[in-house]
Amino acid sequence: MNRQVKQVLFIVAAISLVLVLIGFLPNMIMFGLGALLALWAGVRFMAVTHVGAKIGYGALAVIGIITILSNIWALIGIVVAWVLFKGYMMYANQKQDVEIFNADGSRASRSSFQSFDQVWQKFVNRR
C-alpha cells in the first residue's frame, strides 16, 4: 500500500473517530460530573461526624455513582479520545522526508550537502 492511500485511510479513520467522540461528548461530560460528585461527596462523607450530614453526603455519593453508571458509554468516548491522541502522537513523531530544492527549482542532490563543513569554513575564513 503506498503512502497516499495510507494517508487517506488515516484521515478517514480520524474523521470517523472524531465524529464518534462528538457523539459521546454529552455522556462523557455527565460521566465526569458524576465522578466529581461522587468523589466530593465521598470525601465530605468521611470528614463529617453528624449522622444527618453523613446521610446527606452518602445520598449525594450514591447519586454520583448512579450518574457514572448510567453514562458508562462515555468509556467508549474516552477510549476513542485516547486512540486519537496516540494516533496523532505517532503521526507527529514520524520522520518527514524533507525535499530540498536549488534556487532554479530543481531538486538538490544529497551530495551538495555532504561538504557543508568545508563550505562553512571557507565562508568563515573569507570574512
The tens digit of pLDDT for each residue in 53-72 reads: 999 999 999 999 999 999 88
Considering the domain boundaries, does residue 52 fall inside one?
Answer: yes
The predicted-structure confidence for 86-113, as pLDDT tens digits, reads as follows 888 887 777 666 666 666 666 666 555 5
- Quote the strand ranges of the chain, DSSP E: none
CB 17 within 8 A of CB 80: yes
Give the pTM.
Answer: 0.60
Domain that holds residue 79: 3-97
With contact defined as beta carbons under 8 Å apart, do 17 and 76 qualify? no
Q: What is the mean pLDDT of residues 26-40?
A: 93
Angle between the N-to-C axes of helices 25-47 and 51-70, in degrees from 0 to 180, rounded to the nearest 10: 160
Number of domains in the chain: 1
* Residue-level pLDDT at 11: 85
| Domain assignment present for 102 | no
Q: Is there a contact between 87 and 10 (Cβ–Cβ < 8 Å)?
A: yes
Answer yes or no: is 72 within a domain: yes
